[in-house]
Amino acid sequence: MSQVSRVLVAGAGIGGLCAALALAKQGMKAVVLEQAEQLGEVGAGLQISPNAFKVLRQLGLESELTPFAFVPQQAVIRDYKTGEYYFRSALGSAAEARYGAPYWHLHRADLHQVLVNACVRCGVELMLNAEVSSYEENVLLNQVAVLLKDGREFVADVLVGADGLHSKVREQMLGKERPTFMGQVAWRGVIPVNDLKVNIKPDACVWAGPGRHFVSYFLRGGHYVNFVAVEERSDWQSESWREEGDVEELKRAFTGWHPEVSDLLTSATSTFLWALNGRDELPTWHKGRVVLLGDACHPMLPFMAQGAAMAIEDAYVLARCLCAYSLTDAFMHYEQVRKPRATKVQKMSKTNAGLYHMHGGLLGKMKLKALQAAGRFAPDVIQSKLDGVYGYSVLHNR
Ligand SMILES: Cc1cc2nc3c(=O)[nH]c(=O)nc-3n(C[C@H](O)[C@H](O)[C@H](O)COP(=O)(O)OP(=O)(O)OC[C@H]3O[C@@H](n4cnc5c(N)ncnc54)[C@H](O)[C@@H]3O)c2cc1C
């Protein structure tokens, strides 16, 4: 039986907003504390796979999101130079039939705005300029007090740390430890289709090459193309983990690539550069009245396009557990369901780095050729790996 009526959520990212919405829909009061002065998301795309989509649908967001979606027809891996296909997997109506939910591309800003609107409608309180600096549990009162940087204090039954990669909540719970730079940087950008000098196929496309890869896909009904260009680097000098990128440097990094990549990049006028960071599996995701979700506890390389999807799944399971069980049992069940799942997807994402970047030279190319052969002769084996990720449903996992 639930002992929780008021929850503080640190962070109004996709994970924090989903958690607040799911909690509000279970009848709990959710207050979101966000450090930013304004709500909003940087211009970039997100692939929303069926496993995450099922949660968004359950939260009642499908019809509001539909006008912003693009439905890719297949997921492909192609050679950076020749364009040869190493892998193809049908998406579109095939994904919907197989998984009971579609595979979509969304602009982060659109998903974020729809979540904000839904939260407001459900009575979630969104506080801006609210940077969480620490928390303190009061065992006698069965409460947790959250202290903001500006001195304000908020009290609730539970604190959810959905404050991303550099989570202050995680730091206090488990100690100060910087995330690990994963030896990769990513440029991201969005280009209006009218500006393109090349025809792009309606696929979620990964271009694999030595030490780098390039991802492109459509957004917003096909009016924009999103790109993510990843390059291996030995270090990251900047203090910030995201900064404005140099478009010319990006174009130079992909010179000599297939014309669908190099011609697409000629139309790019601005980009942001991300350092890709990770963390080893945490010993625990909860302590006392405090619990973590999303990038705060399992940041991952974006090479399965599952970071936000995992945060969305976490949010739903956490809200359901808080509603169904006592606090101790709720956190225990939440971690039992979510930790193995997120850790598995984290590992799969890391493995893809080697494949997409042709690690091992000729051996790397042979692995892609082996994937191509498996797609022809044993497609079920490949499909079953994807099924484990996309076919999973937190709605049925208790
Ligand atoms: C290049 C790239 C491509 C990606 N592509 C995909 C994809 O296609 N599909 C997918 O599912 N995932 C993708 N991801 C991963 C995804 O973006 C993240 O996993 C996801 O956004 C994590 O959400 P979150 O809510 O946990 O954290 P965040 O989005 O980081 O949100 C954290 C929030 O907390 C706030 N905050 C931080 N500290 C404090 C504080 N002390 N007090 C108050 N507020 C605070 C922040 O301002 C922010 O609003 C990609 C990531 C990258 C880098």
Cβ–Cβ under 8 Å, residues 344 and 335: no
pLDDT of residue 13: 97
Residue 374 pLDDT: 87
Q: What is the pLDDT of residue 256?
A: 95
A 10 A CB-CB count for 40 gives 13
Rounded to the nearest integer, the mean pLDDT of the chain is 94
Ligand 1 atom nearest residue 133's Cα: 41
Q: Rounded to the nearest whole angstrom, what is the distance from the C-alpha of residue 166 to the centroid of ligand 1? A: 10
What pLDDT shows up at residue 326?
A: 95
- Strand ranges (DSSP E) for the chain? 6-10, 29-33, 45-48, 74-79, 85-90, 104-107, 125-127, 132-138, 143-148, 153-156, 158-161, 180-192, 204-209, 212-219, 224-232, 242-244, 272-278, 286-287, 290-292
State the average pLDDT over residues 103-110: 97
- Ligand 1 centroid, distance to 109 Cα (angstroms): 12
Residue 266: pLDDT band with limits 50, 70, 90: very high
| Tokens matching residue 376 | 């022809």
Checking if the pLDDT of 2 tops 80, the result is no
Question: Which residue among 34, 37, 219 has the greatest number of ligand 1 atoms within 8 angstroms of its CB, and so is best to mutate?
Answer: 34
Is pLDDT of 340 > 80?
yes
DSSP string over 115-161: HHHHHHHTT-EEESS--EEEEEEETTTTEEEEEETTS-EEEESEEEE
pLDDT tens digits, residue range 186-241?
Answer: 999 999 999 998 888 999 999 999 999 999 999 999 999 999 999 999 877 665 67
What lines the ligand 1 site, CB under 6 Å? 10-16, 33-36, 46-47, 131-132, 162-165, 168, 186, 188, 228, 274, 294-296, 302, 305-309, 311
Domains and CATH numbers, the chain: 6-178+279-390 (3.50.50.60)
Report pLDDT for 236.
78
pLDDT in tens, 345-393: 999 999 998 899 988 888 888 999 999 998 888 888 888 889 999 999 9
Q: What is the mean pLDDT of residues 49-76?
A: 97
Residue 398, pLDDT above cutoff 60 = no
Residue 88 pLDDT more than 60?
Answer: yes
Q: How far is the CA of 284 from the centre of ligand 1 (A)?
A: 20
- What was the pLDDT predicted at 226? 97
- Please give the distance, rounded to the nearest whole angstrom, from the Cα atom of residue 295 to the centre of ligand 1: 6
Mean pLDDT, residues 34-48 taken together: 88
Instruction: Please count the other Cβ atoms lying within 10 Å of the Cβ belonging to residue 233.
Output: 15
Cα distance between residue 109 and residue 114, in whole Å:
9
The tokens describing 166, both together, are 């550099």
